Amino acid sequence: MKLIIQVPCFNEEKTLPVTLAGLPRAVAGFDRVEWLVIDDGSADGTAQAAKASKVDHIIRFTKHQGLTRAFLAGIDACLKLGADVIVNTDADNQYNAADIIKLTGPVLEKKADMVIGTRPMKEIRHFSMAKKFLQTLGSRVVGLVSGLHIPDATSGFRAISREAAMKFNVFNDYTYTLETIIQAGRKGMAVASVPVRVNEYLRPSRLYKSVVSYLWRSLATIVRIVVVYKPFKFFMTVGSSLFGLGILFGARFLFFLAQGRGAGHVQSLILTSILLGIGFQTLLIAFIADLLAVNRALIEDLQYRVRKIEIESHQGRGPGGGEGGA
């Protein structure tokens, strides 16, 4: 059994050595433990720091592509390198690496396809109230869409089985954390949560520049997830609401018309026609979106089969475009 611990990085020259120093070289249940660093187009000495720390595998992007693409590139490389289980952790040393065994245990015991580390959110002092609120909101939305109860859906500290890793298709460039859970739930995977510890604060988050930026991007991500994974319910709700408002304004106009005062409320009639028209079109979009969702599921199944064949054909070879061990 092989475990590969992957660490996506972007300009982590200072924090990466600290993170790697805490990673284990032996984990119960595995014959081999390897480290993989994904350098997401860093402008500093991140790659050199990885080599100095004796990392087994390094992937380097020539241009910064974002956390999601770095995560997916790492997953693809780990699969081609023959990983049976993949652990993802952050390069800022946020998570206590001694808890990796907590993540891998349920996967090895075949009790879970993915295990997510739940941080002691209330005890993390450098997290703002806005960030804590949005992370709680995100976890609840993910629970509603996926049917899974995950207390800390935004946690990047997670273990993934080989089979589960081959089934992920993430579209969001901002973050992979929420979408992978939703996909796991919709594909019938078993997902578990375990409490993990966190380390001392080393640097500010790179995912957002300000609280306003974080609020906007997080809310946009949550809305997009609902639209993509619950399209029929979303558009049906919007369409029904608009159609219902149109009926109300229409009834209002008819009320005044019956009293002989319809001429003074023509604006209600105009608004009624607009709302009914938009509402009806949105209801039609709900059915079209539902058909597209079914088509997407079929394509994802086909992609999984193709990916499995491709990965098996690359078994034992290093990840394309990456560097070998340091």
pLDDT classification of 268: cutoffs 50, 70, 90: confident
Residue listed under structure tokens 């578990």: 192
* Percentage of the chain modeled with pLDDT above 90: 55
Q: Under a CB-based contact definition with an 8 Å cutoff, are residues 175 and 221 in contact?
A: yes
Pairwise pLDDT comparison (222 vs 54), residue with the higher score: 54
Write down the architecture of domain 2-221 according to CATH: Alpha-Beta Complex (3.90)
% pLDDT > 70, the chain:
88
Range 174-189 average pLDDT: 87
CA-CA distance, 75 to 85, in Å (whole number)?
10
Task: Please provide the average confidence, as pLDDT, over all residues in the chain.
Answer: 87
Q: Of the ranges 78-82, 174-178, 181-185, which one carries the lowest mean pLDDT score?
A: 174-178
Instruction: Report the pLDDT value the prediction gives residue 321, as an integer from 0 to 100.
Output: 43
pLDDT in tens, 111-164: 999 999 998 876 666 566 766 777 777 788 888 888 888 888 889 999 999 999
* Residue indicated by tokens 């995100």: 138
Greatest mean pLDDT among 36-45, 297-306, 315-324: 36-45
Three-state SS annotation for the chain = CEEEEEEEECCCCCCHHHHHHHCCCCCCCCCEEEEEEEECCCCCCHHHHHHHCCCCEEEECCCCCCHHHHHHHHHHHHHHCCCCEEEECCCCCCECHHHHHHHHHHHHCCCCCEEEEECCHHHCCCCCHHHHHHHHHHHHHHHHHHCCCCCCCCCCCEEEEHHHHCCCCCCCCCCCHHHHHHHHHHCCCCEEEEECCECCCCCCCCCCCCHHHHHHHHHHHHHHHHHHHCHHHHHHHHHHHHHHHHHHHHHHHHHHHHCCCHHHHHHHHHHHHHHHHHHHHHHHHHHHHHHHHHHHHHHHHHHHHHHHHHHHHCCCCCCCCCECCC
pLDDT at 211 over 70: no
Q: Is the pTM of this model over 0.85?
A: no
Average pLDDT on 94-106 reads 95
Is the predicted pLDDT of residue 256 greater than 70, yes or no? Answer: yes
The model's confidence at residue 325, banded by pLDDT at 50, 70 and 90, is very low
Q: What is the Cα–Cα distance from 110 to 159, expressed in whole angstroms?
A: 12
**What pLDDT, on the 0 to 100 scale, is given for residue 323?**
47
Strands 191-195 and 158-161 come out as: unpaired
**How much is the pLDDT for 326?**
40
Closest CA to 174 of 204, 154, 152: 154
The tens digit of pLDDT for each residue in 223-246 reads: 887 888 889 999 999 999 999 999
What's residue 81's pLDDT?
93
Output 81 or 297, whichever has higher pLDDT.
81
Q: How confident is the model at residue 320 (pLDDT cuts 50, 70, 90)?
A: very low
| pLDDT higher than threshold 50 for residue 93 | yes
pLDDT of residue 154: 85
User: Could you state, in order of their start, the residue ranges of all structural domains in the chain?
Assistant: 2-221, 230-304
